[in-house]
Amino acid sequence: MVGQGNYQLARSDGPPPLPLDLREHKLHISLQWGIILLTSCIAPLVLYPSLHWGADLSLKISLSVSSAMLGASTLYSLGIRTWRLFKSTSNCRPPTSESRWNFDFFHWNYLLGFVLVTIIIVVGLTEDPPSVRMTSLPPSILLVQVGLTLVIVGVLAKLRVRQPFPVSSMPAGTAFRPGILVIIEDVVAVDGGRGRAYRSALMERYAASLRFRRLIEDLNWFWGFGGLLMGIVLICILASVGSQTFAFGLGWTVPWIWAGVWAVITTYWVKSALREEKLTWSESQKVVEV
């Protein structure tokens, strides 16, 4: 890896650029999130009551159909992502990958989340009668999983603990970096189609800019603690609320509302921070040189 000093010499006029302009991909991003929202929020909320009370189907069949749609869309997304990383011509695998089976950090967490959700839904459906309350838990469980991962990796990064294994672009032996940074790297490189060029550019930006590092660390705590606390509180509410149907509605709507609020806050926060980073870049470089 190129030393930090080289980054500063190469980009004295501003921080190293990231090869991505979200304004050019508004339609694609809107379509992707629309599909995710449809299959992971709207479909379960519409299918379960429509099939159970509208079509007078059994509780088990109604819950199974809504769960199957969620599972099918998740498997499709997971399959596409796996192929992009696995194929021999892949240009989005982490540079540390020595094998096509060495997936990135986000992919392994994606797989873990899918397994956890599958177990919860299967357990809920095999009860007699099927547990509507159990099938309301997946979004909250994912909040806890992702939030806890970000907090743990954030603590390891803060303590400068060295990685015993490669984590996406970072080889074994280097210090952990905030989990949110690695997730951004993996999602944009693979799902966003920006490839290894983006992975390298993001790591270069992180190494060169103190303000960017602070922003990433703050975002890691914001999403990590926010998701963890929201997930725990919601699980407690879902476990104690009287009506299972009401619990189902809460379980499949509240996490998305929370994520939307966090995303809006993050958008304005990041825009402001990056603008400040650019305006103060030359001044900050002079301080480093002194």
172-230 pLDDT, tens digit per residue, is 999 999 999 999 999 999 988 889 999 999 999 999 999 999 999 999 999 999 999 99
Q: How far apart are CA 163 and CA 177, in angstroms?
A: 9
pLDDT at res. 6: 39
Q: How far apart are CA 214 and CA 121, in angstroms?
A: 39
pLDDT at res. 161: 97
Angle value at C-alpha 43, between 39 and 45, nearest 5 degrees:
135
Domain assignment present for residue 12? The answer is no
Q: How far apart are CA 29 and CA 137, in angstroms?
A: 27
pLDDT at res. 102: 83
Q: How far apart are CA 146 and CA 259, in angstroms?
A: 12
Domain assignment present for residue 15? The answer is no
CB neighbours of 127 closer than 8 A, spacing ≥ 6? 134
Domain assignment present for residue 46? The answer is yes
Structure tokens at 203: 């790591």
Domain assignment present for residue 51? The answer is yes
Domain count, the chain: 1
pLDDT at res. 2: 37
Domain assignment present for residue 16? The answer is no
pLDDT at res. 119: 95
pLDDT at res. 275: 92
Q: How far apart are CA 41 and CA 63, in angstroms?
A: 14
Domain assignment present for residue 158? The answer is yes
Domain assignment present for residue 256? The answer is yes
Contact between residue 135 and residue 247 where contact means Cβ atoms under 8 Å apart: no
- Residue position matching structure tokens 């149907």: 245
pLDDT at res. 115: 94
pLDDT at res. 284: 64
pLDDT at res. 216: 98
CA distances from 147 to 106, 225, 250 (A): 13, 6, 19
Q: Report the predicted TM-score, pTM, of the whole model to 2 decimal places.
A: 0.88
Contact between residue 285 and residue 18 where contact means Cβ atoms under 8 Å apart: no
Structure tokens at 275: 């603008």
Domain assignment present for residue 13? The answer is no
Q: How far apart are CA 89 and CA 76, in angstroms?
A: 20
Residues spanned by the domain of 117: 22-289
Residues of the chain with pLDDT under 70: 1-12, 24-26, 283-290
